[in-house]
Amino acid sequence: MFKIIFFGTSEFAVPSLKALADDGRFEILGTVTQPDRPVGRHAVLTPPAVKAATPDGIPVFQPEKLKDESFKSWISDIGPSCDAFVIVSYGKILPQWLLDLPKKGIVNVHGSLLPRWRGASPIQSAIAANDPVSGVTIMLIDAEMDHGPILSQIEEPILPDDTGGELHDRLATIGGETLPDVLADYLDGKIQPRAQKHEDATNCRTLTRDDGKLDPNKTAEDLEQLVFAYNPWPGTWIEIGGKRIKILAAMDGDADKTRKPGDRFVRDGIPCLACADGTVLEIKRLQPEGRNAMSGQEYLRGKYSW
């Protein structure tokens, strides 16, 4: 039985954790996740998804910093006996002293076909760039971001109407389905890691809510992709009268060369935003501050500003 420690935080990591916990080839000596955080308007202290999903009997560690004394003492003692650590959507970069602990390194599940989209937002970035395909890479961690050698890759088509959330869930499932066999084969010496083609690397960064502001100086096609990509996080929005209006669904409509970027107008009963090169973004579904989501037509009937 292979001994491992699992690092993970978000929902993306849960299928991988469950798959390893249910597989008799592995013994999970502990899970390491982020501390509980306040969530929502009322700032309710909420455990991360991995903590909630950890089976009874497996200790959970939530160090604010990886050098916290009690955690560092525990993992420094037990880590060298582990065959590997597994990290999936943990949210922190592991220092070198941690990378050096397990016998055969640290195995990572990443939501892209590396070296494309190294970084924190690979799923949103792939949809925003209108990539035809994404996938999951199972790799070894080294000192650089998403730079280590590859153990396995699984492709997954990006469908025309995929949102970031939908693709996220499919890739998380693929990761969980694939990880146990790949990890076991690697630890058994049946898989030889292969270096990435570093010259082909593209990068992405952590997204914030401000990244969701739609810029009409881009084309409507580009903004349509962002609406898909940033659903549900970080969401897309425009500002009217000092208030944010969430844009939940939109499409690239017929061009109107008489408008300038940023003009808001109504066409055929649909709120529209003029964008670069005469393109037009038709707003199909939106949500004003403090209101429920509604269709574009319902928004106009409600006499909201447009």
Count of Cβ atoms closer than 10 Å to residue 232 Cβ: 11
Q: In this structure, are 23 and 128 located in the same domain? A: yes
> What's the confidence (pLDDT) of residue 96?
95
Phi/psi region, residue 95 (left: phi>0; alpha: psi -120 to 50; beta: rest), is beta
In a domain, 231, yes or no: yes
Q: In this structure, are 237 and 258 located in the same domain? A: yes
What's the domain range around 170?
2-204
Choose the final residue of a domain: 176, 204, 232.
204
Q: In this structure, are 6 and 148 located in the same domain? A: yes
CATH of the domain at 218: 3.10.25.10
Q: In this structure, are 196 and 268 located in the same domain? A: no
The low-confidence residues of the chain, meaning pLDDT below 70, are none
The alpha-helical segments, DSSP class H, found in the chain are: 14-21, 49-53, 69-78, 96-99, 122-128, 164-187, 220-229, 296-301
Q: In this structure, are 67 and 172 located in the same domain? A: yes
Choose the final residue of a domain: 179, 204, 229.
204
In a domain, 34, yes or no: yes
Q: In this structure, are 44 and 171 located in the same domain? A: yes
> What's the confidence (pLDDT) of residue 68?
95
**Counted domains in the chain:** 2
Q: In this structure, are 222 and 197 located in the same domain? A: no
> What's the confidence (pLDDT) of residue 270?
96
Q: What is the pTM of this model?
A: 0.95
> What's the confidence (pLDDT) of residue 304?
83
Residue 220 tokens read as 């409507």
Choose the final residue of a domain: 177, 204, 231.
204
Length of the chain in terms of residues written:
306
> What's the confidence (pLDDT) of residue 42?
84
Q: In this structure, are 109 and 159 located in the same domain? A: yes
In a domain, 306, yes or no: no
Q: What is the pLDDT of residues 219-257, one digit of tens each?
A: 999 999 999 999 999 999 999 999 999 999 999 999 999
> What's the confidence (pLDDT) of residue 39?
87
Count of Cβ atoms closer than 10 Å to residue 34 Cβ: 19
Return mean pLDDT, the chain: 97
In angstroms, the first-to-last Cα distance of the chain is: 63
> What's the confidence (pLDDT) of residue 303?
79
Q: In this structure, are 122 and 259 located in the same domain? A: no
> What's the confidence (pLDDT) of residue 217?
98
Q: In this structure, are 10 and 140 located in the same domain? A: yes
- Please give the Cα distance from 8 to 16 (Å, whole number): 9
- Residue 225 CB partners (closer than 8 Å, separation 6+): 127, 128, 129, 130
Q: How far is CA 174 from the centre of its chain?
A: 14
In a domain, 91, yes or no: yes
CATH of the domain at 97: 3.40.50.170
Q: In this structure, are 99 and 65 located in the same domain? A: yes
Strands (E), the chain: 2-8, 26-32, 37-39, 44-46, 60-61, 84-88, 106-110, 118-119, 133-140, 150-157, 203-204, 236-240, 243-253, 264-267, 270-274, 280-288, 294-295
The C-alpha angle with vertex 66 and arms to 60 and 100, in degrees rounded to 5, equals 100
Q: In this structure, are 81 and 135 located in the same domain? A: yes
- Please give the Cα distance from 267 to 225 (Å, whole number): 21
> What's the confidence (pLDDT) of residue 168?
98
